[in-house]
A and B are shown apart, each in its own frame.
Chain A
Amino acid sequence: MTPTSFTAPTLDYLLLVPFLIVLGVACLGVLVEAFVPRAPRFATQVALAVVGLAAAIGTTAWLWVDGKSGLIDPFSSTIVSGTVLVDPPVLAMWAILFGFGLISVIGFAERRLHSGATAFTPMAAAIPGSTAESGAREAGLVHSEVFPLALFSLAGMALLVSANDLLVLFVGLEILSLPLYVMSGLARHRRLVSQEAALKYFLLGAAASAIFLFGVAFLFGFAGSFSYDRVASAVTFTAGSDPLLLAGLGLVGVGMLFKIGAVPFHSWVPDVYQGAPTPVTSFMSVCTKIAAVGGLLRLFYVALGGMRWTWQPLLAGVAILTIVVGAIIAINQADVKRILAYSSIAHAGFILVPVVGAVTVGNMLVDGQAGSVASILFYLVAYGFATIGAFTVVTLVRSQGHEVTDLSAWAGVGRRHPVIGFAMLVFLLSLAGIPLTGGFVGKFAAFAAAWRGGYWWLALVAIAGSLIAVYIYIRVIQVMFFRAPESDSAEVDVALPGGATWIVLALCFVGTLGLGLAPGPVLDLLQSAAAFVIPSAG
């Protein structure tokens, strides 16, 4: 019984600096919550979150540049302690995640719209309508905990996309989800709906993680390891036909598709998106989707790439179903937030199209041009700008201090405030995929990748689906610009936001148009990132 000596792992902490910064700043935020007096607390939290995320983006870029110039070498020493992998696609996803995280966090800081308060309830523990709640409102309390919570969630997303191990993938998924369950229950108005959304999201999310975990257990039983490399070699060894492997693939796929919000695991999306505070909705709909797609990509390409012929048809079916169901149900919705929720379901389907295509330069299927990883990343960036922008405009259309999300009440809103109206027009056109916007280039690259990957029929179905989806956005645009307001909705107006929201709107506007007018540099950058998505396993 002599205990063997423990050999400490060699950790390349330098590679993890962006992730550690986000995690550390989140912990610091909790300390601020505890020790900084109430008056300067909110400003401190905002400043801390913004600076932290900016630092994370900066260090990610630094890792990228130095990796290129050879100072540190993310291309050879990519694997930290065998479970986390930092390679160019991961760096690209980190940059995208932290970027959109930064934009969302700036959106959280908006206070002018709510006459000095935030979009979050003053006291979540107070019973809706109680004296404690009104007292908290009068005392001007704010829940500045949302900033550390959002940062924790972002840290989970960063871990999720860089996982090279099923167990780390699971832990990342949970770190991502838990703060979101809390944040979606904190809406200022319509609190019961918001609380219900939190409960629904929590129960369904917990069940999805349990299913995912059961799949991980199957894959472990199949491969005898959690490591992607070992799973991949076991897949190659058994030619991808082992029953344990198939069961594990199915269960893990269900868990990941739930997070992405693909049909038939989408039922939580409209309710949660509608009930959650709108800034949280835009954070969820963009960052969660990017992280889940990133995790799914690495899992399916690297660990399960050897059984591509099994999962490609399955994912193709899910993609078609998602596009069709999302687009068709969105047409019948009467609530703007629900329309955007169903539109985001349809977009999950569009994103899955190039995932199925599975064209990467790394696996030598097709050389040159945008591989599917690059096109997925581009699509996600374009989708992110347009979606955050659209949800931000939703926060501006108000009546008597409350958001108005009823589509019929939006009649003529675009004409009454041309600047906001024009911005919304651009966002909606980008979501619809009309030329000169980022959405068009994203869709073009995505479908082209699927086409080159041999799934031309899927690309055709996706094009047909996106034509149906155009109608969703045309309908909103038509109401906003070409319908006279009804007499009883006359008090609906566009409220003038504070600086934070203007920054968000400007960034999203420039991003959406910029990606549409000059997509070249971004595509090139992402293309060079995507080249190394499969480091060793083939």
Chain B
Amino acid sequence: MMLIPMVTGVEVTFWICAVLAILGAVGLVTFRKPVYSALCLALVMISLAVIYASLGAPFLFAVQIIVYTGAILMLFLFVIMLVGVASEDSVTETLKGHRVAVAIAGLGVLVLLVLAVAQGVHGTPVGVDSANTSAGGNVQGLADLIFSRYVIAFESTAALLITAAVAAMVLAHPELIKKKAGQTQMAAARLQAYARDGVDPGPRPSSGIFARHNSIATPALLPDGTIAQESVSKVLADRVGLRSVDELWGPHDEVLAAIETAGEEPLDVEDLDWDDDETAPGELEPADDHVVDETADEPAPGEPDTTDDQNESEESHADAVAETPADEEKRND
């Protein structure tokens, strides 16, 4: 009871935010998924923003939330989504004893700097309240400094921002060299190809996605029982390979065989191959994998290797969006 009056609001704020910030920082370093790390960083930044507010820096509080958490961190998340949200850091050490050495070095740095702070900071803090009020407010006080003493530094930061804009354009914006053909030109080109080489001008057959697989890498079957080569995009066919006819016909054959062996007995649907899947989702993958989680809820048609198909189509789709592959040799020269 005696202690309560001695604790100020600033101190309570500090202790709560300090604990949150350190937890966030530890999480940032230890989580294996970049998304979690980014969210932990957000926790650190917001805790620091609150500390800024308690230290008489309301402007920095706002900027920390708006610019750091709102813009910079969102950019991070954006790129994580772009680069691959499911990617994880490997836990294997590339250099033996690297982590132990880093931990020892980190501990050394920590002890040295804490000692320096503990011995070096003297006196009671003045607080910026008087500085804030004498300037007519925190924002006015900062503006006063930025536009008088630090005006050259402020003007020079223009160079940083322009550099950033130019860099983003140079590194991430491919210039369109040729104008993309419109629908009219493409239609004309198709008919020309038909007139010249006899290429079928009609649309190509769609893939066999709804028959037994939900992957667009599954070719459609023609009436004569063979595979329609045209029905799978060339990129996918090169990369994943076309399924063989036997593989596609396999389940059907099993059904027919089952019907034949069943004889007079009524056909027991439960014995058939596809039903294995209804029990499958639970045992397929650990629950933390995003890709499978979404699809596992739906009744998966087809063979037990549904998840592989899913992964495959997921990746092949990403590849189809990206460029066609080329030789490493070509690239490296």
- Chains A and B share a contact (CB less than 8 Å): yes
The answer to whether A141 touches B177, judged by C-beta atoms less than 8 angstroms apart, is yes
Of residues 156 to 182 in A, which have CB atoms within 8 Å of B's CB atoms? 156, 159, 165, 167-168, 171-172, 174-175, 178-179, 181-182
Contact call B148/A9, Cβ cutoff below 8 A: yes
Q: A167 near B153 (CB under 8 angstroms)? A: yes
Interface string of B170-181 (1 = CB under 8 A from A): 111111011000
Distance of B136 from chain A, by nearest CB (Å): 4
Partner of A129, one of B113, B147, B173, B327: B327
A174 adjacent to B148 (CB under 8 Å): no
Q: Which residues of A contact B156 (CB under 8 A)?
A: 23, 155-156, 159, 168, 171-172, 175
Centre residue among B117, B166, B328 by max chain A CB count within 10 A: B166
Q: For the complex, what is the distance from the CA of A247 to the CA of B118, rounded to whole Å?
A: 12
Question: In this assembly, does B240 line the interface, its C-beta being within 8 Å of a C-beta of chain A?
Answer: no
1/0 contact string of B141-176 vs chain A (CB within 8 Å)? 001100111111100111110111011011111110
Tell me if A76 counts as interface (CB < 8 A to partner B).
Answer: no
Stretch at the interface among A77-85, A101-109, A295-303, A318-326: A77-85
B119 on interface, CB distance cutoff 8 Å: yes
In order of increasing CB-CB distance, the 8 nearest A-B pairs are: A129-B331, A244-B120, A3-B136, A129-B326, A247-B116, A243-B120, A243-B116, A128-B331
Decide if A123 touches B174 in the complex (CB within 8 Å).
Answer: yes
Do A243 and B174 touch across chains, with their CB atoms under 8 A apart?
Answer: no
Shortest Cβ distance from A181 into B: residue: B167
Is B323 in the interface zone, CB < 8 Å from A? yes
Q: A6-B147, A125-B175, A222-B120 are in contact. List 16 more A-B contacts (CB 8 A).
A: A1-B137, A3-B137, A3-B140, A4-B136, A8-B148, A26-B159, A26-B162, A27-B158, A125-B171, A125-B173, A127-B323, A141-B177, A149-B163, A192-B332, A247-B117, A247-B120
- The answer to the question of A145 belonging to the interface, with a C-beta cut-off of 8 Å to chain B, is yes
Given A155-B159, A182-B163, A190-B333, A167 contacting B150 (CB threshold 8 A): yes
Known: A84-B152, A136-B177, A221-B120. Is A4-B135 also a contact (CB below 8 A)?
A: yes
The yes or no answer to A185 lying at the interface (CB within 8 A) is yes
Instruction: Say whether A463 faces chain B, with CB atoms less than 8 Å apart.
Output: no
A517 within 8 A of B: no
Q: Check: B102 CB closer than 8 A to any chain A CB.
A: no
Q: Which residue of B lies closest to A227 (CB)?
A: B149
Residue of A nearest to B140 (CB): A3
Which residues of A lie under 8 Å from residue B128 when comparing CB positions?
none
Residue from the set B143, B152, B330 with the largest chain A CB neighbour count within 10 Å: B152
Contact for A81 among B135, B143, B149, B167, CB less than 8 A? B149
Task: Enumerate chain A residues within 8 angstroms of B332, measured Cβ to Cβ.
Answer: 128, 190-193
CA distance A189 to B331 in the complex (A): 8
Q: Does A148 contact B (CB under 8 A)?
A: yes
Beta-carbon nearest neighbor of A7 in chain B: B148
Q: B121 interface residue, CB < 8 Å from A?
A: yes
Task: Determine the chain A residues whose CB is within 8 A of the CB of B192 once the complex forms.
Answer: none
CB <8 Å contact, B144 and A178? no
B120 touches A242 (CB 8 A): yes
How far apart are the CA atoms of A247 and B113 in the complex, in Å? Answer: 7
List A contacts of B152 (CB < 8 A): 11, 16, 80-81, 83-84, 159, 168
A130 within 8 A of B: yes
Asked if residues A218 and B330 are in contact (CB atoms below 8 Å), the reply is: no
Assembled-state Cα–Cα distance A11/B120 (Å): 36
Q: A431 vs B142: C-alpha distance in the bound complex, in angstroms?
A: 49
Interface flag for B115 (CB, 8 Å): yes
- Cα–Cα distance between A242 and B332 once the two chains are bound (Å): 53
Cβ of A186: which chain B residues have Cβ within 8 Å of it? 170
Find the A residue at minimum CB distance from B136: A3
Q: Determine whether the beta carbon of B119 is less than 8 Å from that of A243.
A: yes
The secondary-structure label for the interface of chain B is helix
CB distance from A128 to the nearest CB of B (A): 4
Which of A7, A27, A192 contacts B331 (CB under 8 A)?
Answer: A192
Question: A2 near B159 (CB under 8 angstroms)?
Answer: no
Q: Please tell me if the beta carbons of B116 and A178 are within 8 angstroms of each other in the complex.
A: no
- Among candidates A26, A168, A242, residue contacting B153 with C-beta atoms closer than 8 Å: A168
Closest to B147 in A: A6
Closest A-chain residue to B133, C-beta based? A1
Residues of B within 8 A of A127 (CB): 322-323
Picked from A4, A125, A141, the residue with its CB within 8 Å of the CB of B134 is A4
Contacts of A155 in B (CB 8 A): 156, 159
Closest-by-CB residue of A relative to B149 is: A82
B171 contacts which chain A residues (CB < 8 A)? Answer: 124-125, 182, 185
A residues 8-55 in Cβ contact with B at 8 Å: 8-9, 11, 16, 23, 26-27, 30, 33
With A11-B151, A81-B149, A191-B331 known as contacts, the answer to whether A131 contacts B323 (CB < 8 A) is: yes
Given contacts A23-B159, A130-B323, is CB(A145)–CB(B137) below 8 Å? no
Q: Kindly state whether residue A518 has any CB partner on chain B within 8 Å.
A: no
The one of A16, A141, A167, A175 that contacts B159, using a Cβ cutoff of 8 Å: A175
Interface presence of B324 (CB below 8 A): yes
Cross-chain contact of B149 among A83, A159, A178, A191 (Cβ < 8 A)? A83
List of B residues within 8 angstroms of A125 by Cβ: 170-175
Question: Contacts A127-B323, A244-B120 given: A30-B153 contact, CB under 8 Å?
Answer: no
Roughly how many angstroms separate A75 CA and B177 CA in the complex, as a whole number?
Answer: 55
CB pair A175–B162 under 8 Å, yes or no, is no
Report chain A residues within 8 Å CB of B193: none
Contact between chains at B177 and A132 (CB < 8 Å): yes
User: A361 to chain B: closest CB distance in Å?
Assistant: 29
- Shortest CB–CB separation between residue A147 and chain B, in angstroms? 11
Nearest to A198 among chain B residues (CB) is B171
Q: Is A495 an interface residue (CB 8 A)?
A: no
Q: Which residue of the partner chain A has the closest CB to B325?
A: A129
Does A419 sit at the interface, judged by CB under 8 A? Answer: no
Instruction: Considering the complex, give the chain B residue whose CB is closest to the CB of A10.
Output: B148
Point out the residues of chain B lying under 8 angstroms from A499, CB to CB: none
B29 in the interface, Cβ–Cβ < 8 Å?
no
Closest A residue to B144 using CB positions:
A6
B174 touches A132 (CB 8 A): yes
Q: For B115, what are the chain A residues with a Cβ–Cβ distance below 8 Å?
A: 243
Q: What distance in Å separates the Cβ of A28 from its nearest Cβ neighbour in chain B?
A: 11
- State the CA gap A11–B148 with chains docked (Å): 9
Q: Once bound together, how far apart are the Cα atoms of A182 and B8, in whole Å? A: 49
